[in-house]
Amino acid sequence: MSVLRDAAFRRLWAGTTISELGSSVASIATPLIAVQVLDASDFMVSLLTAAAWLPWLIVGLPAGALIDRITRRPVLLISDLAAAAVVISVPVAAAVGRLTIAQLLVVAMLLGTASVFFTVAWTAYLPAMFERDQLVTANSVLQGTASGTQVAGPALGGALVTAVSAVAGFVVDAVSFLVSAAFVWRIRRPERRPEVSRDAALGRDIAAGIRWLAQDRYLRNLAVHGATANLVLTGMNSLVVVFLIRTVGLSSGGVGLLLAVTALGGVGAATAAPWLARRFGSAVAVIGSKSFAGLAALLVPLTTARAGLIAFVAGMAGVGFGVVAGNVLAGSFRQAYCPPELLGRVVTGMQFVNLGAIPLGAVLAGATATVFGTRTAMAIMAAGYALSGLILLLGPLRGRRELPGALVPAASPRA
Is the pLDDT at 305 greater than 50? The verdict is yes
Which of 140-149, 214-223, 368-377 is modeled with the greatest confidence? 368-377
Residue 7: pLDDT over 50:
yes
Is residue 197 assigned to a domain? Answer: no
With respect to residue 191, please indicate whether it lies within any of the assigned structural domains: no
CA distance 304 to 311: 8
Mean pLDDT of 216-244: 92
**pLDDT at residue 80 in the model:** 92
Q: What is the mean pLDDT of residues 327-338?
A: 82
Whether residue 256 is contained in a domain is answered as yes
- Cα gap 26→123, rounded to integer Å: 23
Does 60 have pLDDT greater than 50?
A: yes
Residue 409's pLDDT is what? 28
Give Cα 145 distance to the centre of its chain.
Answer: 13
Mean pLDDT lowest among 173-182, 204-213, 376-385: 204-213
Residue 192 has pLDDT above 70, yes or no: no
Residue 198 within a domain: no
Residue 395: pLDDT above 50?
Answer: yes
Helix, strand, coil % over all residues of the chain, rounded to 5: 80, 0, 20
Taking the whole predicted model, whether its pTM rises above 0.85 is answered as: no
- What is d(CA 258, CA 60) in angstroms, rounded to the nearest whole number? 33
Kindly state the average pLDDT of the residues 188-196.
65
- What is each CA distance from 97 to 94, 131, 170, 377, in whole angstroms? 5, 52, 16, 34
Q: Is residue 400 part of a domain?
A: no
What integer pLDDT is reported at residue 106 of this predicted model? 95
Domain around 18: 3-185+203-393
Residue 309 forms part of a structural domain: yes
92 pLDDT band, cuts 50/70/90, is: very high
Q: What does 222-289 look like in DSSP terms, one character per residue?
A: HHHHHHHHHHHHHHHHHTHHHIIIIII---HHHHHHHHHHHTHHHHHHHHHHHHHHHHH-HHHHHHHH
pLDDT at 132: 65
Beta-carbon count within 10 A of 376 CB: 13
Window from 50-54, 145-149, 340-344, 403-407 with minimum mean pLDDT? 403-407
For range 12-37, the mean pLDDT: 83
In a domain, 402, yes or no: no
- C-beta neighbour count of 388 within 10 angstroms: 24
How far, in Å, CA of 246 to CA of 35, rounded? 9
| Percent of the chain's residues with pLDDT above 70 | 89
Residue 414, in any domain of the structure: no
Q: Whole-angstrom Cα distance, residue 311 to residue 291?
A: 18
pLDDT at 93 over 90: yes
pLDDT-based confidence at residue 57 (cuts at 50, 70, 90): confident
Confidence of residue 85 (pLDDT cuts 50, 70, 90): very high
Return the number of other C-beta atoms located less than 10 Å from residue 185's C-beta: 15
pLDDT score recorded for residue 195 = 60
How many domains does one find in the chain? 1
Tell me, what DSSP letter sits at residue 35? I
Q: How confident is the model at residue 98 (pLDDT cuts 50, 70, 90)?
A: very high
- Give 358-385 pLDDT, tens digit per residue: 889 999 999 999 999 999 999 999 999 9
- Domain with residue 382: its CATH number is 1.20.1250.20
Contact 313, 262 (CB under 8 A): yes
pLDDT of residue 200: 57
